[in-house]
Amino acid sequence: MDHSTLTGRQIAAARALVGLSQADVATRANISVPTLKRMEASEGPAAGLANNVAAVMRTLEAAGIAFLAEGQAADGGPGVRLAKPD
């Protein structure tokens, strides 16, 4: 999945799924907590600079998240799930 289609709700759901706080994700992605809060509050695609959104996506993927693009989730919308362990 491309970071440009990542939604704020996917970020929030992914963070909750792996049990990380906003401060944890922000620190690991090298962004501020207010920036992450703005991303998560986005109704559609995550608001923010492309490199920041990509950093958050990589951080959550490293924590064990697999992002599902629109059409990949059971209901056809975008989603998140735990990635299969290596």
User: Which pLDDT does position 78 carry in this prediction?
Assistant: 87
Domains of the chain: 3-82 (1.10.260.40)
Q: What is the pLDDT of residue 54?
A: 97
Q: What is the mean pLDDT of residues 41-68?
A: 96
Banded pLDDT at 73 (limits 50, 70, 90): low
Q: Which long-range contacts (CB under 8 A, 24 or more apart) does 76-81 make?
A: 78/5, 78/6, 78/7, 78/10, 79/10, 79/13, 80/10, 80/13, 80/14, 80/17, 81/17
pTM: 0.91
Query: Average of pLDDT values for 21-32?
Result: 98
